[in-house]
Amino acid sequence: KPLEITQLPIFQFDEYLSMKAKKVEKALNEAVPLQYPKKIHRAMRYSLLAGGKRVRPVLCLASCELVGGDQSLAIPTACAVEMIHTMSLIHDDLPCMDNDDLRRGKPTNHKAFGEETAILAGDALLSLAFEHIAAKTTKVVSPERVVRAIAELGSAVGSSGLVAGQIVDILSEGKEVTLEELEYIHVHKTAKLLEASVVCGAIIGGGNEGEVERMRKYARCIGLLFQVVDDILDVTKSSEELGKTAGKDLASDKATYPKFMGIEGAKNFAAKLVAQAIEELAHFDAAMATPLYCLANYIANRQT
Ligand code: GRG
């Protein structure tokens, strides 16, 4: 049975989020010092510390705590998922991919440092992510759990994960996309890394098999939810900004959930996904699950 908001203890979610994000910010800053060769480390830090929402690392920490782990155990893993997220954005923005000039309100990495450096900064962040978990977690968490987390993350990123989503997205450009194909792209480009963030948090936090798989189900719902909300925001924001009608925007070429099912349909789908995610949390202690309950609602209601 889903948790009722009235059953929840008083919980300052805004404070929780900013406290966790600050922890992550500090750890990320320390994880990539500005050392020789300065150019590559400057480029890595430029994108990594550019102030994203830090949803993935916060989910990772919350999941670790839900299964009874101390958040300090999961800080390196939380940093790793943000490093991977950031590198995927750097590569996604490249001229050979989306060719974007702006990211997180600043010039994209290749605009600021040049294409060669941007590619290398992405590569270095990807490799550092795995090194960081292995080097910083093995002393405090069993090697078996560390290896499981690394395997989980590797599969979320590679050719069955983010890379799969990106290549299918690229190959579908200019073609009619079915709802199944759209879902494949979103599940792989967006949901896989969110899922791995939550699952790795639970593994590192000492969760048992049942708890880890329960968290995976929760994460699958919020992963897809994240993208459905992104699509809704895309349509509603651009129609607000351009003073267009939503209907006009829905006629654009880009395949989105609102295009397939209308804005109301997409909003209903999003509501169903939040409810499903929250249902999974009902198997945990309600007070302990509060942050993840609020995070699901935050993802559903976010405006950026
Ligand atoms: C991962 C090896 C490897 C290569 C990259 C380019 C690529 C392959 C994949 C693209 C992945 C991509 C850009 C997915 C979009 C994910 C998404 C919803 C980004 C926005 O996330 P937010 O809203 O952004 O969390 P902030 O800026 O808040 O962190």
**What is the best residue among 17, 28, 49, 162 to mutate for testing ligand 1's pocket, by most ligand atoms within 8 Å of CB?**
162
CA distance 129 to 268: 36
As given in the structure block, the two tokens for residue 56 are 């993935």
End-to-end CA distance of the chain: 30
Query: Does the beta carbon of 53 lie inside 6 Å of ligand 1?
Result: yes
Query: Does the beta carbon of 92 lie inside 6 Å of ligand 1?
Result: yes
Q: What is the pLDDT of residue 283?
A: 92
Q: What is the pLDDT of residue 105?
A: 92
Which CATH superfamily includes the segment(s) 5-301?
Farnesyl Diphosphate Synthase (1.10.600.10)
CB 294 within 8 A of CB 15: no
Residue 248's pLDDT band (cuts 50, 70, 90):
very low
Query: Does the beta carbon of 276 lie inside 6 Å of ligand 1?
Result: no
CB 28 within 8 A of CB 48: yes
pLDDT at 239 over 80: no
User: How does pLDDT run across 292-303, given as a tens digit for each residue?
Assistant: 999 999 999 988
As given in the structure block, the two tokens for residue 166 are 């990106």
pLDDT at 244 over 90: no
Nearest residue by C-alpha to atom 27 in ligand 1? 52
CA distance 228 to 289: 23
Segment 279-292 mean pLDDT: 94
**CB within 8 Å of 37: residues ≥ 6 apart:** none
Residue in the structure block whose two tokens are 């897809």: 224
Query: Does the beta carbon of 91 lie inside 6 Å of ligand 1?
Result: yes
Query: Does the beta carbon of 213 lie inside 6 Å of ligand 1?
Result: no
Segment 203-226 mean pLDDT: 97
Q: Report pTM.
A: 0.93
Which ipTM score applies to this complex?
Answer: 0.97
**Helices 286-301 and 55-66: crossing angle, nearest 10°?**
160
Give the closest residue to 95 by CA, choosing from 72, 119, 125, 68: 119
As given in the structure block, the two tokens for residue 38 are 């300065």
Share of the chain above pLDDT 70, in %: 92
Segment 130-138 mean pLDDT: 97
CA distance 180 to 183: 5
Beta strands in 23-112, from DSSP E residues, in sequence order: 102-103, 106-107
Query: Does the beta carbon of 55 lie inside 6 Å of ligand 1?
Result: yes
**Helices 55-66 and 192-204: crossing angle, nearest 10°?**
30
CA distance 266 to 228: 7
pLDDT at 241 over 80: no
Q: What is the pLDDT of residue 304?
A: 81
Ligand 1 atom, smallest distance to 84 CA? 1
Residue 242's pLDDT band (cuts 50, 70, 90):
low
As given in the structure block, the two tokens for residue 132 are 């960081």
- Compute the chain's Rg from CA coordinates: 19
Q: What is the pLDDT of residue 32?
A: 98
**What is the best residue among 82, 92, 195 to mutate for testing ligand 1's pocket, by most ligand atoms within 8 Å of CB?**
92
Q: What is the pLDDT of residue 251?
A: 53
As given in the structure block, the two tokens for residue 159 are 């050719």
Residue 8's pLDDT band (cuts 50, 70, 90):
low
User: Whole-number mean pLDDT of the chain?
Assistant: 92
CA distance 113 to 115: 7
pLDDT at 64 over 80: yes
Residue 88's pLDDT band (cuts 50, 70, 90):
very high
As given in the structure block, the two tokens for residue 118 are 């941007």
pLDDT at 3 over 70: no
